[in-house]
Chain A
Amino acid sequence: MLTTSRKNPIRLAAVASFAVASTFGMAAQATDITGAGSSFVYPVMSKWSASYAEQTGNRLNYQSVGSGAGIAQIKEGTIDFGASDAPMSAEDLQKFGLGQFPIVVGGIVPVVNIAGVEAGQVKLDGATLADIFLGKITNWNDPKIAALNSGLTLPAGKITVVHRSDGSGTSFNFTNFLSKVSPEWADKVKFGTAVDWPTGVGGKGNEGVSQYVRQIKGSIGYVEYAYAVKNKISWVNLKNAAGNVVEPTAETFAAAAATADWASAKDFNLIMTNAPGDNAWPITATTWMIMYKTPKNAGNSKVAFDFFKNALENGQKAAADLDYVALPPELVSQIEAYWAAEFKN
């Protein structure tokens, strides 16, 4: 290489300066960690990693490839952490030597397009919502809906169900809630990232569902809270497990995370929907970070834990800006105790 570039002083200079630059770069080189999985947390992960890179110089490369792919990649050990909207089972975690913990909370809201109906005006309970998505309640003037909405007369009109066409954590949590409140749903449809929807039309992504709901008069769908706010679609207030009608807000999402029974859930294997709190929003979701208990790359793993600690303790503002809710302090201390007990680092 040197012999060829001798003829060309410019190239030689370029090579030399590159060599110098790379030695200097080495001296100050930061650790790059890689994570992959859930698209649900992607916006907040990018925001956290940007501010973390500013503070420490360590960069986080998060690939929003879907929970399934995230789990597959962490099992293969090609990334430092995986992120999944559905918790891994205790057996699977044990088999692969993995541990998991929640990182942030988000709310999923039913949204409707009914002429003259504003956000929060319609109230539904879980059983009625399930019957609508089962195709058993097909008109907005159904007596079951009217019984929950005294004082509000809904116009007669066919209900069109809009669901996600792609596999997603949003669908996972939404169908999980329906399974908990409707035995028929639990028996026939079950829950998962994709299910055999009894009725309706599928939109791709939160954007697709938002777009369909805005276009179709008399439709009902479900999206992450941020999309309902951003697209100005009317959300529905829900009756929670305690029997109170609650509005989707940061407080009710946090209440769900705080009142879910984390203490008795091994490896945080608990889906937060239908949480028991008086003020808890019933369709609240989290994403689990999945890591090796004995890391393959100890240096990277250490940085990853530092990143998560930073996110859990100082990331509230960034989360709130994006309509996520930071985990309540009690849960954060449980997670940190879990780290100390389970992970070798």
Chain B
Amino acid sequence: MSNTDQRGIVATTIDATNPSDMQELHSRRDARHERMFRWLLKGCALLVLAALLGAAGATLWGGRDAFATFGWHFLISDAWDPGNDVYGALVPVYGTLITSFIALLIAVPVSFGIAVYLSEVAPAWLRAPVASAIELLAGIPSIIYGMWGLFIFAPFFADHIKPWLTNNLGNQPDDGKLSWVAEHVPFIGKLFGSDYPFGASILVAGIVLAIMVIPFISSVMREVFQTVPTRLKESAYALGSSTWEVSWDIVLPYTRSAVIGGIFLGLGRALGETMAVTFVLGNAMNLSASLLDPGTSIASTIANQFSEAAGLQKSSLMALAFLLFVVTFIVLLIARLMLRRLASKEGR
């Protein structure tokens, strides 16, 4: 419809029978479409930016009372006392960082193993079903992981894994006799010392988070491992390399930046995960060096307290939300810097 309209208008100034005029007409139209397309794309991209700035701005604005009242102290205080209206972010921020760190510590090697197995080792008929199973895992809602963690994994952990950890690695073993490891390796005793008799804890939250992010990291790794040219791998095999050497020295360096990207995708999810963590973290506002003690995270604190909060408490929760933005931003920044350093080392 619009075609005929345009033709009708331009036909008055341009001779339609002249081929060069027609060409000009086409190129002008193309240029206009190109411009519109560019604006559209720019709009889409700006929308993301606007949403990001809007959310960050709204949380900062909501948290202004907390920042004004507590200042920098908000960041370094471990108090969270609604009775006396004193709030600090240290415990939730620590909980968020440590649980995500544990999650990556477990998820990255396991994901690497899954990806290498699926792209290098597994028989062809097994690859597709396992790959889709992993993608299905990624689609499970987090509340299900949380309930599984609370009802099944946390009791199992408390009965079977935790006693071994506290007795063999911790500084508060049941029989009072410190193990060799707890005595000789600094910090280990503190990390695994706990007299809490139940499962829900920082370590369990980290493990549940690891299970949640493994599908994300491993599917990215698997995809990019498949992009490695076969001739590179075959050449290495021909020179007598083992599968491990090919994976570590050929496949991984070739895909390094995409692999790091995948890891940070998983980290992003771990940092912001709410429901699953709320279930298995124990929700205790105390700062403990032990991984077996309950803790809290930014997202779970907000989920727990927001609905009944008012005044300064609500503002402090908003300030926490803003801090989550900042933490995520810093983590992504570090990822970028790491990539840049890697790239410059390789002389690319």
Contact = CB atoms under 8 A, between A and B. Distances in A.
B70 to A, nearest CB: 15
A25 to B, nearest CB: 35
Given A196-B285, A203-B283, A211-B150, A217 B309 contact: no
Interface in B284-307: 284-285, 294, 296, 300, 303-307
Interface string A196-221: 11001111100010011001111100
Contacts of B313: 194
A165 B82 contact: no
A160 B278 contact: no
Interface string A270-313: 00000000000000000000000000000000000000000000
B198 interface: yes
Given A68-B310, A211-B151, A204 B304 contact: yes
A191 interface: yes
A196 B304 contact: no
Contact of B309 (A194, A201, A216): A194
A165 B200 CA distance: 13
Nearest to A165: B283
B308 A166 contact: yes
A180 interface: no
A66 B307 contact: yes
Contacts of B135: none
Contacts, number: 99
B158 interface: yes
- Categorize the interface residue count of chain B: 35 or more
Chain A binding site: helix, strand, loop or mixed by DSSP? loop
Contacts of A196: 79-84, 285
B199 interface: yes
Interface in A54-110: 65-69, 71-72
Contacts of A119: none
Interface in A103-136: none
B201 to A, nearest CB: 9
B198 A167 contact: no
- The interface centre, meaning the residue of A166, A201, A216 with most chain B CB atoms within 10 A of its CB, is A201
Contacts of B83: 188-192, 195-196
Given A160-B196, A201-B283, A166 B307 contact: yes
Contacts of B308: 66-69, 166-168, 193-194
Contacts of B154: 215
A68 B79 CA distance: 22
A158 interface: yes
A197 B284 contact: yes
A123 B84 CA distance: 31
A188 B305 CA distance: 20
A167 to B, nearest CB: 3
Contact of A201 (B84, B294, B303, B305): B294
B279 A204 contact: yes
Given A193-B82, A215-B155, 10 more contacts: A165-B278, A165-B300, A190-B83, A193-B308, A194-B82, A196-B285, A201-B294, A202-B296, A215-B154, A217-B197
Interface of A: 65-69, 71-72, 158, 160, 165-168, 188-197, 200-204, 208, 211-212, 215-219
A-B pairs, 9 with minimum CB distance: A167-B308, A202-B283, A190-B83, A165-B283, A66-B307, A196-B81, A193-B308, A166-B304, A216-B198
6 contacts: A165-B278, A196-B79, A202-B304, A215-B154, A215-B155, A215-B198
